[in-house]
Chain A
Amino acid sequence: MSTAVFVTVVALSVSNAPGWPDVKQAFFDREVFDDSFPAILEAFLVNVRIFLVAEVFILVLALGLAVLRSLPGPVFFPLRLLATVYADIFRGIPTILVIYILGFGVTALQLPGVPNSPLFWGTVALVVVYTAYVSEVYRAGIESVHPSQEAAARSLGLTRFQALRFVVLPQAVRRVIPPLLNDFIGLQKDTALVALLGVVEAFRQSQIEVAATFNYTPYLATALLFVLITVPLARFTDWLTARDRKRQQAGRLA
Chain B
Amino acid sequence: MTAPALAIEGLRKSFGKLEVLRGIDLALDEHEVVCLIGASGSGKSTLLRCVNLLEPIDEGRILLRGEDITAPGIDVNRVRRGIGIVFQAFNLFPHMSVLENVTLAPRKALGLSKEEAVARADELLARFGLSDKRDEYPDRLSGGQQQRVAIVRALAMQPGLLLLDEVTSALDPELVAEVLNVIRELAAEGMTMLIATHEMGFARDVAHRVCFLDEGVILEQGPPEAIFAAPQEPRTRQFLQRIVEAGRL
| Residue ranges of A at the interface with B (Cβ–Cβ < 8 Å) | 148-149, 151-159, 162, 166-167, 170-171, 174, 247-253
Contact = CB atoms under 8 A, between A and B. Distances in A.
A171 B78 CA distance: 26
A43 to B, nearest CB: 42
- The binding surface of chain B is classed by DSSP as loop
B152 to A, nearest CB: 12
Contacts of B81: 156-157
Interface in B157-206: 157
Contact of B93 (A152, A157, A159, A251): A152
Nearest to B109: A157
B91 A159 contact: no
Contacts of A167: 93, 104
A159 B105 CA distance: 10
10 contacts: A151-B54, A153-B93, A153-B104, A158-B105, A158-B109, A159-B77, A166-B108, A171-B93, A251-B97, A251-B136
A249 B116 CA distance: 28
Q: Could you say which of B83, B89, B91 has the most chain A C-beta atoms within 10 Å of its C-beta?
A: B91
Interface in B57-109: 77-78, 80-85, 87, 89, 91-95, 97, 104-105, 108-109
A156 B95 contact: no
Nearest to B106: A156
Interface residues of B, number: 31
Nearest to B54: A151
B109 A253 contact: no
Given A158-B77, A248-B94, A249-B140, A148 B157 contact: no
A171 B94 contact: yes
B109 A148 contact: no
Interface of B: 52, 54, 77-78, 80-85, 87, 89, 91-95, 97, 104-105, 108-110, 135-137, 139-140, 153-154, 157
B93 A149 contact: yes
Contacts of B110: 157
A248 B137 contact: yes
Given A166-B104, A248-B139, A251-B136, A154 B54 contact: yes
Q: Which 3 A-B residue pairs are closest in the complex by CB-CB distance?
A: A157-B81, A156-B105, A152-B91
Given A156-B105, A251-B135, 10 more contacts: A156-B104, A157-B110, A159-B77, A162-B108, A167-B93, A247-B137, A248-B95, A249-B137, A249-B139, A251-B140
A174 to B, nearest CB: 7
A252 B109 CA distance: 26
Contact of B80 (A148, A154, A174, A249): A154
A234 B92 CA distance: 31
Contact of A155 (B85, B89, B108, B140): B85
A253 B97 CA distance: 7
A159 B140 CA distance: 28
A39 to B, nearest CB: 47
Contacts of B84: 155
Nearest to A171: B95
B140 A156 contact: no
Contact of A157 (B77, B92, B137, B139): B77
A171 B138 CA distance: 14
Nearest to A175: B95
B89 A174 contact: no
Contacts of B95: 170-171, 174, 248
A248 B95 CA distance: 7
A23 to B, nearest CB: 51
A23 B95 CA distance: 53
A157 B105 contact: yes
A154 to B, nearest CB: 7
Contact of A156 (B78, B94, B157): B157
A172 to B, nearest CB: 10
Contact of A253 (B92, B135, B154, B157): B135
B134 to A, nearest CB: 10
Contacts of A159: 77, 109
